[in-house]
Structure 1
């Protein structure tokens, strides 16, 4: 299956960036502009996102997104992922450590890791998302998208979001359910003993200070398993920090890459 990708910049240092659920590769534009010269940021649209073809619901969704990432990861590159994209980036680093020069995980939805270390925190998350689950069960994709956006959006009230954008999210909300085996139940095996030990490159974990507490627990769990990881908390930012606070995220990424 062909996929759509784009590049930002023309610098010699190659970066692969993996966007979050319900976004597309254009979400990296602000951060790419703020990073400035010296980098080429390569980004692709996940299945059913941007200009890539739709996921047909067959096979494992995380496998497909990761396969496209491996195709893009053609040489040693700095790897950046946001939210679900961060889990793809983490898997890429575990499966092809020789092609990952550094790893930046922004707001990783490592819920299976949280479940392993702090089950009560996952239960809090489940209770906060009962309305999303009910909407999905009822087949009300617009309501499900509204609920999802409430927890994981940029803070813009639903009624102020353009109708075209709301429809874009509703049309792709099945992607959230499709990602659950990997994100919530670790179908990809990253929790297996030693699975992350192969990651020897510098690692940066980033979260927004105003984000869901499950993300902080996720980064805590990842810190336990990736000893060399650094951690940055962006005060006043939330889950969509790469879009809402692109310069602040870029400043942290640039500082990290310069030292990596």
Structure 2
């Protein structure tokens, strides 16, 4: 286990960094300790297939009530070296999360997941109901993305921006290191803001650091593996979820349509669905105060 003290990229609390071995490879994790012990309970944050732990920086409290645990899932962020994600399933990714939390000594958790991380969080709630207290799923890429990944031609009608990104990532993955270098190069130019416009309601209002961060976090091979995993996932498992669930989407979300939230509500019994105005797929970046208030309300239920 590698332990390192570091400071968040933006002005904020100190974070402890650890690297924990899982079945899918080493997993880097940041921990913000609460001033007072709160048993073995933690708030856990799971990023999407176009992100890393930094996705959740806008939600980090100055003085948390519980320990905050932010993972770089195997294949993303600082968890790329030795990652075994080519055939990773949603179940395997959730298992890696549990391995990390067990190693850190947490037996219960509140989960917040964005995009793919929302799908993983919901699976954790279904597979470990006795340990999951709540789930905040922000723009979970579930039913619509799964169908579009299975049938891209049909997805061009229902989720064209997702299909376009998937095809682009497949092309970049085929180029190997050259593809990754190309994305990194474009990520430092104004063109990246234009390319990422489908992810936001108003790209012009998004801080430059967020745009550059998405360029740095792009992982074509891992993105394609995540799309395959979601395409093969059995969503019927979610009827085993017993904890309160909050499902959020942006009003201009190009990856998570309203029909996904409606279908999720038909499977999960204790759920609240919310559409947030003036944001797209990254409500955390565009409306962080709204997202934080909704997540706080969820944990008080």
Does the pair score TM above 0.5? yes
Whether the 8 Å contact between 1:5 and 1:42 is mirrored in structure 2 is yes
Distance 1:178 1:154, change over 3 A: farther
Query: 3-state DSSP class of the match of 2:69?
Result: strand
2:170 and 2:224 in contact (8 A); partners too: no
2:233 is the alignment partner of 1:188: yes
Structure 1 residue ranges (4+ consecutive) displaced by more than 6 angstroms after TM superposition: 160-164
Q: TM-score, normalised by structure 2?
A: 0.70
Structure 2 CA distance for partners of 1:167 and 1:110, relative to 1, 3 Å = closer
- Picking from 198, 207, 216, the partner of 1:168 is 216
- In structure 2, distance between residues paired with 1:242 and 1:177: 23
Matches within 5 A, 1:76-91: 76-91=108-123
Change (3 A) 1:162 1:82: closer
Change (3 A) 1:248 1:166: closer
* Change in 2 beyond 3 A, CA 1:56/1:138: same
Q: Displacement of 1:248 after TM fit?
A: 1.3
The structure that is strand-richer by fraction is 2
SS in 2 for 1:102: strand
Check if 1:124 corresponds to 2:153: no
- 1:66 equivalent among 94, 100, 121: 94
Is the aligned partner of 1:48 residue 2:75? yes
Pair 1:5 & 2:32 matched:
no
Change (3 A) 1:167 1:97: same
In the alignment, structure 1 segments of 5+ residues that lack a partner are none
Residue 201 of structure 1 aligns with which residue? Answer: 243
* Distance change in 2, residues 1:177/1:137 (3 Å): closer
TM-score between both structures, scaled by the size of structure 1: 0.80
The question of 1:179 aligning with 2:226 is answered yes
Match of 1:25 in 2: 53
Asked if 1 retains the 8 angstrom alpha-carbon contact of 2:31 and 2:70, the reply is yes
